[in-house]
Amino acid sequence: MSDRTKKTLPCRYCKNEVEKGVKRCPHCGTLNPSMGVKQSLIWTVSAIVVLYAIGAAVRYFKQ
């Protein structure tokens, strides 16, 4: 049996150790504390791209 060690990462806001993948930091309450700034930026950008693509498609089909 493999002994899985819990992966901890520093919270991106308060820098306290948080378990990887937790929804909320137990120390400061930040959402997705293990998600890096770069990662959340990628998520935001891709969300904007998707919304823009949907908007463009709607405009195209309304013609």
Q: Which residue, 10 or 55, has its beta carbon nearer to Zn ion?
A: 10
DSSP assignments along 20-32, one per residue: TT-SB-TTT--BS
Binding interface with Zn ion (CB under 5 A): 11, 13-14, 25, 27-28, 30, 33
Q: Which three-class secondary structure state does DSSP give residue 17? A: strand
Q: Which residue, 15 or 48, has its beta carbon nearer to Zn ion?
A: 15
Query: Cβ of residue 45: shortest distance to Zn ion, in angstroms?
Result: 24
Cβ pair 15, 27 in contact under 8 A: no
Query: Cβ of residue 13: shortest distance to Zn ion, in angstroms?
Result: 5
